[in-house]
């Protein structure tokens, strides 16, 4: 089994915190779609004929595409690959795109899962982030999608930024539960270099983020999710039983995937490659039948560290046997370094599996880095 990711590099405007590759001009959207189709064709052998279990349209804002454009891309994939009959096909969408007409059009595509970028149910917070939509649109878009028959919906939320009081954060979580959304991805606000937010903070036009606020709101979220029947199956991802994101779960489990589009990454177990993050150069290269990608052959150390980083973030944990399958005896090194984390209650071992405790999840990246080879 394998997955395919399609990067749609267009947004109506730039969110202040975002460092993903995108353009606020859709002038060359037709040329981009043609280039995506061409890359799908040129990359048809990358996954070595493995059955495609998931297709994920990310970005950017994939919901700027028409239903016909989505169908063309999916049809090209199905012509060149064996796609599972129950494949999970996810489309990221912004609330302002999901009017009745567009949702009904998407209902006639193979898309069966929406990932809706809510972020907050407060207008002042959305304006602070420079989001296009407003709180009323956020709630209305979810209800429209549900009314149209889309039950498999995930919503994105952000916490840990200056405007978000604990009371407002609890309201955002309660609204998600009230709307009956079965999956939530919630991220602490991070300040990425070369974003507008980073510039505002450096010029003292915005407050810096507070680690203590983020940690407190993380714990508020854990309690609320547990009380409402959600499982935390990855640090930032929660779901009702049976509603895991199959696509993202496969990333964390090391399943092969092909990335299509500018800035998209691919991984086949031994090699990682990533496309150029420039729309014009990407289109020009594909017009010339050349895949504009850099390639890295992963070393044993790369593979060990990547597995440690991704596995520790999940409910499935770090499997010491799998670690040893990458490099004989690797588990002995990890267990030795992990002793302080067992002693302070950050890590627990059950059989051959290491998992983070709720306390350890607050320091997941630091713990993983300490275990690296």
User: Over the stretch 328-369, which tens digit does the pLDDT of each residue have?
Assistant: 999 999 999 999 999 999 999 999 999 999 999 999 999 999
- The 3-state DSSP class for residue 322 equals helix
Residue 289 CB coordination number (10 Å): 10
232: cis peptide before it, omega within 30°? no
Report the DSSP beta bridge partners of residue 57: 6, 91
Is 263 within the bounds of a domain? Answer: no
Helix ranges (DSSP H) in the chain: 29-42, 67-80, 100-106, 123-129, 135-147, 166-179, 196-202, 211-227, 246-252, 279-287, 300-312, 320-326, 330-337, 339-343, 358-361, 364-371
pTM, whole model, 2 decimals?
A: 0.96
pLDDT for position 276? 98
Domain boundary among 192, 221, 252: 252
State CA 317 to chain mean position distance.
19
Does residue 235 share a domain with residue 126?
yes
Q: What is the pLDDT of residue 340?
A: 97
- What total number of domains does the chain contain? 2
In angstroms, the Cα distances linking 326 to 1, 187, 293, 338, 364 are: 20, 31, 26, 19, 22
Is the domain of 175 the same as that of 34?
yes
In a domain, 134, yes or no: yes
CATH of the domain at 360: 1.10.10.920
Instruction: Name the domain boundary from 252, 285, 315.
Output: 252
The domain in which residue 26 lies consists of 2-252
Q: How far apart are CA 252 and CA 236, in angstroms?
A: 12
* pLDDT, position 284: 98
Q: What's residue 209's pLDDT?
A: 97
Q: Are 344 and 292 in contact (CB under 8 A)?
A: no
Low-confidence stretches of the chain (pLDDT < 70) are none
Predicted local distance difference test score (pLDDT) of residue 24: 86
């Amino acid at each position: 089994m394998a997955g395919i990711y399609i990067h749609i590099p267009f947004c109506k405007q730039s969110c202040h915190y975002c460092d993903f590759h995108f353009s606020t001009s859709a002038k060359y959207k037709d040329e981009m779609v043609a280039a995506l189709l061409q890359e799908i064709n040129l990359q048809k052998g990358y996954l070595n004929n493995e059955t495609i279990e998931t297709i994920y349209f990310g970005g950017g804002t994939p919901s700027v595409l028409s239903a016909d454009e989505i169908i063309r891309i999916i049809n090209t994939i199905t012509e060149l690959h064996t796609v599972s009959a129950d494949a999970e096909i996810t489309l990221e969408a912004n609330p302002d795109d999901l009017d009745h007409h567009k949702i009904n059009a998407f209902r006639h595509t193979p898309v069966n899962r929406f990932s809706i970028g809510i972020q907050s149910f407060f207008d002042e917070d959305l304006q602070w982030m420079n989001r296009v939509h407003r709180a009323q649109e956020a709630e209305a878009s979810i209800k429209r999608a549900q009314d149209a028959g889309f039950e498999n919906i995930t919503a994105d939320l952000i916490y840990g930024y200056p405007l978000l009081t604990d009371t407002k954060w609890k309201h955002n979580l309660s609204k998600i539960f009230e709307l009956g959304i079965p999956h939530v991805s919630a991220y602490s606000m991070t300040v990425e270099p070369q974003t507008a937010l980073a510039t505002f903070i450096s010029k003292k036009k915005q407050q810096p983020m507070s680690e203590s606020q983020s940690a407190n709101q993380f714990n508020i979220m854990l309690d609320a999710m547990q009380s409402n029947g959600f499982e935390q199956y990855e640090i930032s991802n929660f779901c009702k039983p049976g509603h895991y994101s199959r696509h993202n779960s496969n990333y964390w489990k090391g399943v092969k995937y092909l990335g299509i589009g500018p800035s998209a990454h691919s991984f086949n177990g031994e090699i990682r490659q990533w496309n150029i993050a420039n729309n014009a150069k990407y289109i020009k290269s594909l017009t010339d039948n050349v895949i504009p990608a850099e390639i890295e052959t992963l070393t044993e150390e790369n593979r060990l560290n990547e597995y440690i980083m991704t596995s520790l973030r999940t409910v499935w944990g770090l499997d010491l046997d799998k670690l040893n399958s990458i490099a004989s005896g690797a588990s002995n090194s990890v267990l030795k370094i992990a002793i302080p984390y067992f002693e302070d209650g950050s890590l627990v071992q059950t059989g051959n599996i290491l998992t983070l405790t709720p306390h350890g999840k607050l320091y997941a990246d630091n713990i993983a880095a300490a275990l690296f080879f």
